[in-house]
Structure 1
Amino acid sequence: MPKIFGREPALLLALVAAVVNGLPGLGVDLTSGEQAALNTAAATVVAIAIAVIVHDGLGAAILGLIQALGSLVIGFGFHWNTEQQAAVMLIATAAVAVWTRTQVTAPVPAKAPLPPLTAVSGDAYGG
């Protein structure tokens, strides 16, 4: 498992969750939905960090981050209907797909081109 800041990702997420869940006890007014949104955003950031470290699945991690950030802002009262949420994810997916296309190479080389067709003497029946 890759490490982030020298620590296991699960340990960092546990710290974030403890801080977020402990904030209301210190007088910070957070609903359970807001706490869940903050924890989701933290988990997504860690997932992206892992994707960057292992060089795999970065596009999916970026889309996850965008989705988590959408959940975060909605959790804090930003009002988007489902059509607006879908439109944002559609645009984000298209942008990540365009970017991914420039980053990916085929695992095998392209097939060699076929030799040009040449005329064959005689008729079609070998005569």
Structure 2
Amino acid sequence: MRIFGREPVYILAFIAIVLKLSSAYGLEVTNEQQGAIMAVLSLVVAAVNALVLRNGAAGAAIVNLAQGALALFLAFGLHMAAEQQALWMMAVEGAVALVLHREVTAPVSVLPVEQRSSVKPAPPQAV
């Protein structure tokens, strides 16, 4: 996958360099905040890859992106109790399950026993 004709890794590296240069010249961003920004950007690329490549990992990528976004907000000063964080993540996971449930199938083959009923119907009776 390419973004603006470049591999996402190169774009992420460029953004990291820009962040470090900006903080060196006055942008008030801590090392923890820079790490959180880069983690979220990496998760965005992973989510886009999962959606574009259709490899079945879209749900996991979206949940991980939500976790990264929550970590980013916390790194920038959001005060939220652990219980509230867990409830937000459960809401995201529930929404992903609701949306993607119809589109996901198990990667296992169907067994012959699953294709027929174990209860035989009674033969029709004459009146």
Q: Same fold (TM over 0.5)?
A: yes
Q: Kindly provide the amino acid, as one letter, of the partner of residue 26 in structure 1.
A: Y
1:94 matched residue in structure 2: 94
1:61-100, CA deviations, whole angstroms, 9 ceiling, x for partnerless residues? 1111111110111110010111111111111111111111
1:122 matched residue in structure 2: none
- Which segments of 5 or more consecutive residues in structure 2 lack a partner in the other structure? none
Q: Kindly provide the amino acid, as one letter, of the partner of residue 22 in structure 1.
A: L
What is the alpha-carbon distance in structure 2 between the residues aligned to residue 8 and residue 18 of structure 1? 16
What is the alpha-carbon distance in structure 2 between the residues aligned to residue 88 and residue 27 of structure 1? 34
TM-score normalised according to structure 1 size? 0.81
**Structure 1 stretches (4+) deviating beyond 6 angstroms?**
none
2:82 matched residue in structure 1: 82
What is the alpha-carbon distance in structure 2 between the residues aligned to residue 4 and residue 58 of structure 1? 18
2:115 matched residue in structure 1: 112
- 1:23-38 mapped onto 2 (5 Å cutoff): 23-38=22-37
TM-score normalised according to structure 2 size? 0.81
* Percentage of matched positions with identical amino acids: 34
CA contact (8 A) 1:52 1:58 kept: yes
Give how far 1:106 is off. 5.3
105-114 vs 86-95, which moves further: 105-114
- 1:4-15 mapped onto 2 (5 Å cutoff): 4-15=3-14
1:65 matched residue in structure 2: 65
CA contact (8 A) 1:20 1:38 kept: no
Provide the aligned C-alpha RMSD in A.
Answer: 2.0
Q: Indicate the SS of the match to 2:115.
A: coil
- Which segments of 5 or more consecutive residues in structure 1 lack a partner in the other structure? 120-127
1:47 matched residue in structure 2: 46
Give how far 1:118 is off. 3.3
Q: Indicate the SS of the match to 1:43.
A: helix
